[in-house]
Amino acid sequence: MHTALSTDHFSPSGVIVAPGLQSLRIVDEPWGLTQGRTRSHASDEEIFSEGSRAAFFYKVVSGAVRTFKHLSDGRRQIDAFHLPGDLFGIESGDEHRFSAEAVGAATLVSYRRCSFEIQASARGQLGPEIIAAVMRSLERAQSHMMLLGRKSALEKIATFLLDMAKRMAKDDEFDLPMPRIDIADHLGLTIETVSRCLTQLEREGVIRLPASRHVVLRNKAILRRLRA
Amino acid sequence: MHTALSTDHFSPSGVIVAPGLQSLRIVDEPWGLTQGRTRSHASDEEIFSEGSRAAFFYKVVSGAVRTFKHLSDGRRQIDAFHLPGDLFGIESGDEHRFSAEAVGAATLVSYRRCSFEIQASARGQLGPEIIAAVMRSLERAQSHMMLLGRKSALEKIATFLLDMAKRMAKDDEFDLPMPRIDIADHLGLTIETVSRCLTQLEREGVIRLPASRHVVLRNKAILRRLRA
DNA sequence: CGCTTCCTTGATCTAACTCAAAGAGAGTGG
DNA sequence: CCACTCTCTTTGAGTTAGATCAAGGAAGCG
């Protein structure tokens, strides 16, 4: 495991450093957020865990992050994958209600959670952006409930592929950042069912899988129909 | 169907009416919300539907409401039941992303959604309460994903019963406001499976069902264990 | 080159679904 | 008050989508 990739110290990022000054001001942030610090994380490194103090929230710079919960016996549900630009780890209470881990190597910016930002997100300039992130999470969670509760395995896979495509730079050919087990735990399936559905879609010419992590969408119309 | 229960006109509620004045001020509202109007809805009456303009959001006064989405072929997922005191129908975009219907007869207060309340929920006094409602929805949605994706039928039913219990006045004996089909569409099951699980729990002495809508929790410890 | 980890494929099993039909209430009208 | 209807719920029998169990295969890394 590349623990070398992960430094134990945060380093300032995207800032104008006035030598000798403590208070840094981030300027390439569209968020108006202050106090962000960039850090690299090794694959599978824990970012925070369920029940831990929610002192920070995060933005993905590169790579990907999974947020998930465990049941007592170890069953896992990945509620979301977070890609570059996404905020995650925002809480209204003082504990994280999920665990978060890097999916592959990832770079994140962390923001110290000040007393004023959620409850009285009211007056801060950062309020609106955080609220937008929360609303987006809610919308994602709500459509994911439809998927988990009512879609078949093939419909889940089709939905997942189209959703990833929309979020990636190229929307008809991309690399999946996560292994099959993560896809399974996100879609409420097993790894074998995920694999079989992908194989089926490839056999039918809907997608191509030149490598297990590389997907080419050959027929999005069919995928959209399959998505239900 | 008792359409008589449903009036087509809203009536002011909980307000001090200064005769001749247009601007009313609600005083029994903990929300600082203005412009609320109370209305009764008949069983199964539509409150709003997916894709409609989100001009209002609502608070349940009595009865219950289900919010849900449909798939193209009619499969339904009920994302949540809303009980007295709950806010629902809050959107960041300008359309409702769910449909809402009364579960049994229900009384609701509607609030006109002003331009300022979500995006710039910032300065209004009503911001914090709305944000709290949104955060609660998010938390519910997130634990519901765990349920839908990873729990067995019996675990789903146990979770559901304990959750309802916690939200009702008496937490060990209550009436279910909704029929089996709604429970099924909320938990990602069929009506038959819901019925079989309830019967099984009754056979095992964990609950009693003196009437199909009336539940007595006889052994919450076992239920909590079953919930996983 | 040889681990090790991830992915695929096949065979079998089972939880939950589907289909079918019989109770059980609740409301209606004679 | 009783018979009738309608809707909701329960129960049973059979089916199936997806899980589980069990090998293999491929790709990355040391």
Q: Could you tell me which residue, B36 or B19, shows the higher pLDDT? A: B36
Residues B108 and B182 in one domain: no
- C-alpha A144/C-alpha A155 separation (Å) is 12
Instruction: Please state the length of chain B.
Output: 228
Mean pLDDT of chain B: 85
Residues A174 and A132 in one domain: no
Last residue of a domain, one of B144, B162, B182: B144
- C-alpha A169/C-alpha A167 separation (Å) is 7
Instruction: Please state the length of chain A.
Output: 228
Residues B130 and B156 in one domain: no
| Cβ–Cβ gap B150/A120 under 8 Å | no
Last residue of a domain, one of A136, A163, A188: A136
Measured CA distances, A108 to A12, A17, B21, B80 (Å): 11, 19, 55, 33
Residues B63 and B88 in one domain: yes
The arithmetic mean of pLDDT across residues B88-94, rounded, is: 93
Give B192 CA → C20 C1' in Å. 12
Q: What is the identity of the amino acid at B58?
A: Y
Chain B nearest-CA residue for A224: B72
| Consecutive 10-residue averages of pLDDT for chain A (228 residues) | 36 34 36 74 96 96 97 97 96 95 96 63 58 93 98 98 96 96 98 98 97 97 97
Q: What is the CATH classification number for the domain harbouring A43?
A: 2.60.120.10
Evaluate if residue B120 carries a pLDDT over 50: no
Residues A98 and A166 in one domain: no
Q: What is the CATH classification number for the domain harbouring B175?
A: 1.10.10.10
A172 inside domain: yes
Query: DSSP string of A81-147?
Result: EE-TT-EE---SSSB-SSEEEEEEEEEEEEEE--TTSSTTTTTSSSHHHHHHHHHHHHHHHHHHHHH
pLDDT digits (tens, 9 = 90+) for A68-89: 999 999 999 999 999 999 999 9
Residues B25 and B130 in one domain: yes
Q: What is the pLDDT of residue B115?
A: 52
Residues A185 and A80 in one domain: no
Q: Does B190 touch chain A (CB under 8 A)?
A: no
pLDDT digits (tens, 9 = 90+) for B1-24: 333 333 333 444 333 333 333 333
Q: Does B150 touch chain A (CB under 8 A)?
A: yes
Residues A95 and A169 in one domain: no
Residues A117 and A31 in one domain: yes
Residues A167 and A201 in one domain: yes
Query: Domain span at residue B173?
Result: 151-227
Last residue of a domain, one of B144, B178, B196: B144
Number of structural domains chain A divides into: 2
Residues A84 and A161 in one domain: no
- C-alpha A17/C-alpha A6 separation (Å) is 23
| Cβ–Cβ gap A69/B146 under 8 Å | yes
